[in-house]
Structure 1
């Protein structure tokens, strides 16, 4: 009975740790789930360490039945989102549950009530903690592990969320292109397109220099993270604060490859950027972090497997400032990142996530021979 389900907020480090460790119960027999490092998740939810909490707030909840944890959820108040989009939207994330609608409903009730008490009119998700972090519910493409920084979930989550009353707000597409297809397209298009673009627009495209990281962070900020950046008109996009951007760069530089980070400049100023990340999810899953194994041992295994198992790349960003669009730069960025993967012997690459409504970018990606192979969904629930 639903009365036997008790939902409570996590208020202590021990309770937050229990929240995080519950994932291993849900996915213990799943062949595709990629477990996170426990220390990374602890830091992610730590309000003293994650700069998201310098402007916004969240509450972690667990559902228990007969004293045993059976589900988790995070209720989120993203003040920067609401200020930037002039909305009153609350978010949920961290949603994990056994296959039981009563448990799911109790969790959604808790998240709904928490954000509603703070004046929100819509509950949206999943997005933990924002759309700049992992977001979206996998609704199609369950037959392979997720790429780096992409989400994964059991199929039954779709039914639980929709049964509660959530409806689709936006689909996010993940495109895949094999190395064989990319080779053919690159051979036909890249050099000709690159010469044409750079000649017409007087642009230069260079790889990132990690020895001058502060300069590269400023380029990223100018094109992606500022309020006037290339993504400012995208649905759901919220510019990062300087602290958030520095935090992301610090976390990603540990496994980023400068060959996959491209900066487009015009008259010495950054006007476009492309970033791809080696898919470290394969070696991470092989190392299989878990609460019962010392993390130093997991990290040693990860480093060992990383040298042998990384064989694909995820393109996470490719865009230019508005005044430089329709010039072919985006296509050059996409093709050059794929070319770098081919040079390294990778089997292919994922381009994600792309809004289903981003016709211009989806058209460019289709032209390099990619196909949509996974769909992630953001849901809305009116609560006003």
Structure 2
């Protein structure tokens, strides 16, 4: 598939070259989408952590170019093009990435943004484009194609309904859908989630199985256990890129103030880690009424709400089952044990809803387990790709 055409006379796409343009690039979605009642802008420090070259973990190993689209002097869209060397090694294909794609409801704007990213990737020797990823596969992923009216969730991008059709019209095809589910915490969900009778962690047939919480004094060590188990669990699955130590350290840095010991579920068999899950509180729950760029008073509110853990919802962002037990009866049971443990921690974790996602659409084992509790995905995010018009 060739992605190439001349831009319209009144439309210009230019690379981001200075600090002022970078600031505009980072804040642009709130300008473009402010008139949508279901759009709630993230806090600026979250976006800076994702996108600013001096803050994002991605730039410690990857390269990227940002672009802005202009109609006259009005900025109408943005996109990033990036090379992730970890993805190139894992996928063993010259696949470049795009991300941070946001635009007005104009097919030509989206097309020319994708053209700009594609042309930059071709100059880097890439033969295929895939995304959106902001900025890599272990961060925000996909274009939202379902769930625009659902409550916002941490690290889950929001896009208007028109964006998917404009991406398709620009020549990109669906590569994979990423699905998410809302698990309403309570007795009804607990009854829907049943593990076989007679199976209780630490006794009888599960006598060698134990669970533990996050050790706040050894948070870096527990983060490394999480990273290694996650990488082991998802190796060789579609689109997988190993989580790096740097990415894990940045994740811990950004989340430490919001985490409680109960947000981390580690399952051990004979004292060896075999399964892990990390539940992160939804920062949108405590940012209500606070501007995207908080005042000093706003920062105080955020800190107070975080300290008091005034969250109502959360998201499971990392869940992994060790390869050593994956194809065993114990491995099949492990996701159920992790979910059961989350229910057991209901008093310590004040969440009325936990979002499970994202999950690859073809991971039917995990989806079938979750759909016993909640039958339909609440959100769908789509990854696209296309062959580039590549010439040596």
Residue of structure 1 equivalent to 2:256? 253
In structure 2, C-alpha distance between the alignment counterparts of 1:111 and 1:258, rounded to whole Å: 42
- 2:64, 2:81 within 8 Å by CA — same for their partners in 1? yes
Q: Spell out, residue by residue over 1:320-342, the C-alpha distance to the aligned partner (whole angstroms, 9 max, x if none).
A: 11121241111111221244246
- 1:279, 1:310 within 8 Å by CA — same for their partners in 2? yes
- 2:66, 2:81 within 8 Å by CA — same for their partners in 1? yes
1:182 aligns with 2:189: yes
Question: Secondary structure, in 3 states, of the residue corresponding to 1:244?
Answer: helix
Matches within 5 A, 1:129-144: 129-144=135-150
In structure 2, C-alpha distance between the alignment counterparts of 1:339 and 1:163, rounded to whole Å: 47
In structure 2, C-alpha distance between the alignment counterparts of 1:197 and 1:116, rounded to whole Å: 58
Matches within 5 A, 1:1-12: 2-12=8-18
- 1:318, 1:334 within 8 Å by CA — same for their partners in 2? no
- 2:200, 2:206 within 8 Å by CA — same for their partners in 1? no
CA gap of 1:362–1:342, structure 2 versus 1, over 3 A, is: farther
Following superposition, the deviation at residue 251 of structure 1 comes to 1.1
- 1:176, 1:370 within 8 Å by CA — same for their partners in 2? no
Residue of structure 2 equivalent to 1:100? 106
Residue of structure 1 equivalent to 2:40? 34
Following superposition, the deviation at residue 77 of structure 1 comes to 0.9
CA gap of 1:248–1:309, structure 2 versus 1, over 3 A, is: closer
Residue of structure 2 equivalent to 1:61? 67
Residue of structure 2 equivalent to 1:334? 339
Question: Secondary structure, in 3 states, of the residue corresponding to 1:16?
Answer: helix
In structure 2, C-alpha distance between the alignment counterparts of 1:155 and 1:239, rounded to whole Å: 31
Residue of structure 1 equivalent to 2:299? 299
Residue of structure 1 equivalent to 2:31? 25
Residue of structure 2 equivalent to 1:367? 372
Residue of structure 2 equivalent to 1:270? 273
CA gap of 1:154–1:342, structure 2 versus 1, over 3 A, is: farther
CA gap of 1:52–1:69, structure 2 versus 1, over 3 A, is: same
CA gap of 1:167–1:241, structure 2 versus 1, over 3 A, is: same
- 1:314, 1:351 within 8 Å by CA — same for their partners in 2? yes
Following superposition, the deviation at residue 348 of structure 1 comes to 2.3
Residue of structure 2 equivalent to 1:154? 160
Matches within 5 A, 1:168-179: 168-179=174-185
In structure 1, C-alpha distance between the alignment counterparts of 2:209 and 2:320, rounded to whole Å: 14
- 2:202, 2:210 within 8 Å by CA — same for their partners in 1? no
Following superposition, the deviation at residue 304 of structure 1 comes to 5.2
CA gap of 1:19–1:92, structure 2 versus 1, over 3 A, is: same
In structure 2, C-alpha distance between the alignment counterparts of 1:148 and 1:245, rounded to whole Å: 17
Question: Secondary structure, in 3 states, of the residue corresponding to 1:284?
Answer: coil
Residue of structure 2 equivalent to 1:166? 172
CA gap of 1:298–1:381, structure 2 versus 1, over 3 A, is: farther
CA gap of 1:382–1:269, structure 2 versus 1, over 3 A, is: same
- Structure 2: any 5+ residue segments left out of the alignment? 1-6
- 1:284, 1:302 within 8 Å by CA — same for their partners in 2? yes
Count of aligned residue pairs for this structure pair: 377
Matches within 5 A, 1:109-124: 109-124=115-130
RMSD value over aligned CA atoms?
A: 2.3
Following superposition, the deviation at residue 100 of structure 1 comes to 1.1
Compute the TM-score of the two structures, normalised by the length of structure 1. 0.91
Following superposition, the deviation at residue 118 of structure 1 comes to 1.0
CA gap of 1:284–1:50, structure 2 versus 1, over 3 A, is: same
Residue of structure 1 equivalent to 2:287? 284
Q: Spell out, residue by residue over 1:82-115, the C-alpha distance to the aligned partner (whole angstroms, 9 max, x if none).
A: 1111011111111111111121111111001011
CA gap of 1:340–1:27, structure 2 versus 1, over 3 A, is: farther
In structure 1, C-alpha distance between the alignment counterparts of 2:102 and 2:179, rounded to whole Å: 22
Q: Spell out, residue by residue over 1:43-93, the C-alpha distance to the aligned partner (whole angstroms, 9 max, x if none).
A: 433333323222211111101111221111111111110111101111111
Following superposition, the deviation at residue 38 of structure 1 comes to 2.1
Residue of structure 1 equivalent to 2:3? none
The range that moved more, 247-256 or 152-161, is 247-256
Residue of structure 1 equivalent to 2:362? 357
Residue of structure 1 equivalent to 2:317? 316
